[in-house]
Amino acid sequence: MRLRIDLGYDGQAFSGWAKQPDRPSVQDSLESALATVFRVERDQVKTVVAGRTDAGVHAVGQVCHVDLPEALGVRLDDANELARLTKRLRGALGKDNHVWIHEVSAAPEGFDARFSPVARRYEYRIADSHALRDPRLAGHTVWRDEELDMASMNTLGQALLGLHDFAAFCRAREGATTIRELQEFSWLRDEQHVLVGRVVADAFCHSMVRSLVGSAVAVGAGQLSTDDVLRLRQEGARTSAWKTMPAHGLTLMEIYYPDPEHLAERAEQTRAPRRLPAD
């Protein structure tokens, strides 16, 4: 029996999504709560997440799934039971926990929280010298002393789009591909003139979003040109030409899934080895 869990969390309270020895994590909090709700041992509730956020990164639209033993007898076709389950899971997490459960639902056939998505959307907030700095949002916004040129940052974002090897922006992981399709990378200023970056891709490799934002900040500050960044991307190796931005400015906003009839097909496509098209 597979459950889909939609949730959000304040990343400042955690060392990231993934369980780590002697450090608080979103996964550990959630799995402990699930074990309490279903009165089972912890090893019987293993969550699989759409995107493993780093320490300090927030989420409002995270998704995970968990497979439950059928012996538990959960009625996945009963909307009232699922609503009660959502409420009980919130209660097991506790009022002081920094995780919020939006909804618990029955996962459609073929659904895989990690492999079925077609895209993920992140948001990054920067208050430069042109922006109003709201202390209440300091834990979710990076403050910069200089004024950044948003037009130059958008020019870079447009130039980076498409299917490419983003190794220049990723921390290497053995056996992991760095080929990704960047679908949107754009900037606007909100009502307080805070720069808000919108980053959408089919998937992201480790630290890719914060590194992309770092390259945009370098261009916006006049330290690099768009051509410089494109040249470094083409070289296909991790670079120190720009800084990876702090985690607290980043929030996972939304996970996009295909229609239910295409979930299994999408998961199979995602698991297949990725290659760039031949010139």
Q: Going from the N-terminus, what domains does the chain have, and what CATH number goes with each?
A: 2-106 (3.30.70.580), 119-271 (3.30.70.660)
Q: How confident is the model at residue 73, as a pLDDT?
A: 74
CA–CA separation, 176 and 81 (whole Å):
40
Picking from 26, 30, 28, the residue whose alpha carbon sits closest to that of residue 17 is: 26
Task: Name the residue type at position 107.
Answer: A
- Tell me the pLDDT of the chain averaged across its residues: 94
pLDDT bucket at 279, cuts 50 / 70 / 90: low
pLDDT tens by residue, 135-165:
999 999 999 999 999 999 999 999 999 999 9
10, 28, 54, 112: the catalytic one is 54
> Residues of the chain with pLDDT > 90: what percent?
85
Long-range contact set of residues 14-17: C-beta below 8 Å, sequence gap at least 24: 14/55, 14/56, 14/98, 15/55, 16/52, 16/53, 16/54, 16/55, 16/56, 16/57, 17/49, 17/51, 17/52, 17/53, 17/62
Is-catalytic flag, 202?
no
Q: How confident is the model at residue 76, as a pLDDT?
A: 77
Helix, strand and coil percent figures for the chain, each rounded to 5: 35, 25, 40
pLDDT bucket at 257, cuts 50 / 70 / 90: very high
